Amino acid sequence: MRTSARPFAALVAALTLTAGLFAAGAPASARDHGATEAAQASDVSLAADTYDWKNVRIDGGGFVPGIVFNRTEKNLAYARTDIGGAYRWDQAGKQWKPLLDWVDWDHWGWTGVVSLASDSVDPDNVYAAVGTYTNDWDPTNGAVLRSSDRGASWKASTLPFKLGGNMPGRGMGERLAVDPNKNSVLYLGAPSGNGLWRSTDSGATWSEVTAFPNPGNYSQDPTDTSGYGNDNQGIVWVTFDERSGSRGSTTQDIYVGVADKENTVYRSTDGGTTWSRIAGQPTGYLAHKGVLDSENGYLYLTLSDTGGPYDGGKGRIWRYATATGEWQDVSPVAEADTYYGFSGLTVDRQHPGTVMATAYSSWWPDTQIFRSTDSGATWTQAWDYTSYPNRSNRFTQDVSSVPWLTWGANPSPPETTPKLGWMTEALEIDPFDSDRMMYGTGATIYGTENLTNWDSGSQFGITPMVKGLEETAVNDLASPPSGAPLLSALGDIGGFRHTDLDAVPDMMFTSPNLTSTTSLDFAESSPNTVVRVGSADAAPHIGFSTDNGSNWFQGSEPSGVTGGGTVAAAADASGFVWSPEGTGVYHTTGYGSSWSASTGLPQGATVESDRKNPKKFYGYKAGTFYVSTDGGATFTAKASSGLPTEGNVRFKAVPGTEGDIWLAGGATTGAYGLWHSTDSGATFTELSGVDQADAVGFGKAAAGASYQTLFVSAKIGGVRGIFRSTDAGATWTRINDDAHQWGWTGAAITGDPRVFGRVYVSTNGRGIMYGDSSDGDGGTDPGTDPGTDPGTDPGTDPGTDPGTDPGDAACSVTYKVTNQWSGGFQADVTLTNTGDTELNGWKLGWAFPDGQKVGQMWNATPTQDGAKVTAANVSWNGRVAPGASAGFGFTGTLTGGNTAPDAFTLGDEVCATG
């Protein structure tokens, strides 16, 4: 059992991203002083609909390399992921809340979080060091994001180098740290030989600590020329000794870990002015973590012979006495008995002599967790052998809330299912509760709330503590007209049949177990027939189902197949066409019992089926569209003029209409947009006004409409987003907003054929998002899609401007405080046009009863004079049809109460409230 390679799914997504996706300037919700305003739509008929966005629940699905508890406020904790953003723990709901969904397409790399820091002086402050790759796969530099409201809103300081949230060594850390005495001072350890960096103004500006002597020299694979394996992993953690400072003054003693096997720990005793290698330190290893027990004066190091998170053959744990300078090897096992490195490391702040560590790279038979209650003098471990292969566990493990964590496996002892974990580099005991511990794995966060049972000899219970954290990379999506509403193709964990979008599926696809599913399809007129292909350690790379994906059987495969590629099912389930990696295109009239080579279609082409004619299949590669009319046996080149010759291209055929095809893709260096064909690809017409498009899908038609609803991940009228059209692309509605962007969404999109307005959106690390419209049937003006949804998150796609008099009470307003903390709050506002005429521009006014102040606002432009506030539409959302709504949100500050405004005005009229 394995979580598959987190780099590989993410690398594929990164490598396939077209060049030139990145524009200057930060997104509105991350913009620092002086940043350029985002482009706004001006030359295309656009409207905005209020959508409610949620994750299709999977719970986890990727590597969690870091968990950070605040040291001065109970229940305040954060988690970071390698490609899926950062999260804050919600104690009331026992779940995680995403914090970086606002990251836009142009800055997709900022969804990779290499480090987090929570301010112990002012717990409202949190910092994130972001950037996914240090090579040219990620065209943007890294940044340090800073928030003064626990991640509700952010400002960004772009760095002069890249950061690697999904690079080798990403489980080491934390590289970002706040001085616990003078919280305006922060340090950041940089990769790629860029050294140690410091901020003295709470993360707004950064400069290199030129006195720091060693930028590191270790790389995972010096022979790799891609810039991935051969990158210098650099400065990997920073730890302060809070005893060496006082509140308001700089901490004097600072420890820094370096990716250098001979010189892995440095110290400053003068507040970072000078630095020196600590004498007597262990050599031959990298210090993955450095955690200080300030009460007893011990610095603990977990060491591995490699940087992780997958590798590691030997490891040690050392302890440094800060008062005497004495080093001691306190490893729980002899070096000769290790086949793994140590990484996860934590100290019980309530009982500082208690320390725990993980054997992060013990893949088989299981990870190991070690615990000492005497500062490392003696240790016990989470499981022991009784008589091999039998083992005795100090824990019980219940994964009923996330049952797929068993992987459907039935391993032989000493391996068990579910596993205790793997890639266990994050390990933290709650500083306020000795019984609560959380640790990250390659697929989830596990935790316990009765940890001290370990010491009494009874078992402690481990359960997933991952609800709300969705980290899958999505490769393909399908929504059949019957059966399960959604089938997914995912990186690392294969994919699922989703029978309930708000419940965790019982099991991923099995028989075969594909580490990553690259493509799936169902037969349009026989949707119980499903096919999927993907990555696997060995054949087969293909599976079939005849019961809508509930059960699967393995197919044979042609020789030379090395990966999934793309696959298509005939409309009536009579055959399949497969374009795998490693060999040419093949077709079959059975369920993969035998395959015949297709002719006329080049190797590596993307394949799809016509959704009505079972003999018709389509292919595309390098600017040429191909058609087969004999079940995929032979293909003929058709249209090529004007179609994109580079970049990613995805196309789909419309259900129920033969030869109706939509094609999206391209690159900024050439053709890039959305094309439509109604003659099976003989000719294509490019849609004007669509600047760029990357994925296209179809959903249920609006009431009274004759054409299926279109959904695209695209740039239209200068605005990047998720768009909907109910009139075959004549007009478009942006249905996401600036608070819901999720980085890169170009892999797949599909509507639901049974629910008007519902759309499923792929992300590269934030799982599957699904959106529902407030417009029940879409029966109004197809460009506007009205309705109210007062429960949506801040920034729900907005609305209008009061350039027209709405008449007597022709508006209603819902005002909702969605979050509140000491000195601040967050609120959502929904304005609904209850009149008979369209609003063409709006300004909504109100007065705060308790002197509240608006801070950052999204999807509207604020002005404030004393207690009076006006929120005006932005340029792309000024039109609101009768019955439609405009939503916006903001963060604010408060010094006393937080009473809601009692009246809202639109022009000269007072709106109804509710």
- Angstrom distance (rounded) from CA 190 to CA 909: 56
302 by DSSP, 3-state: which? strand
Map residue 105 onto helix, strand or coil. helix
- How many whole angstroms separate alpha carbon 364 and alpha carbon 1? 9
> What DSSP character marks residue 541?
-
- 33's CB contacts (< 8 A; 6+ apart) are none
Q: Which amino acid is at 617?
A: F
Catalytic residue among 49, 101, 476, 492: 492
d(CA 480, CA 494) in angstroms, rounded, equals 19
**Among candidate residues 604, 681, 684, the one with its CA nearest the CA of residue 638:** 681
- C-alpha 412/C-alpha 431 separation (Å) is 38
Tell me how far apart the alpha carbons of residues 196 and 211 are, in angstroms, rounded to a whole number: 9
CB atoms within 10 A of CB 313: 12
The rounded Cα 279 to chain-centroid distance in angstroms is 41
Pairing of strands 497-498, 143-147: unpaired
Sign of CA pseudo-dihedral 690, 696, 701, 706: positive
**Do 90 and 5 touch, CB atoms closer than 8 A?**
no
Catalytic annotation present for 82: yes
- Which CA distances in Å does 737 have to 42, 48, 354? 17, 9, 47
Tell me the two tokens of residue 78.
């954060």
Decide: 265 and 277 in contact? Cβ < 8 Å: yes
- Copy the structure tokens of residue 463: 């359960």
Marked catalytic residue, from 49, 59, 82, 752 = 82
Beta strands in 590-739 (DSSP E): 596-597, 606-609, 617-621, 624-628, 636-637, 648-653, 661-666, 672-677, 685-686, 690-699, 709-716, 719-725, 732-734
Contacts by residues 494-499 (CB-CB < 8 Å, ≥ 24 positions apart): 494/534, 495/520, 495/532, 495/534, 496/58, 496/404, 497/548, 497/549, 497/550, 498/56
> Active site includes 492?
yes
Annotated catalytic residues are: 82, 492
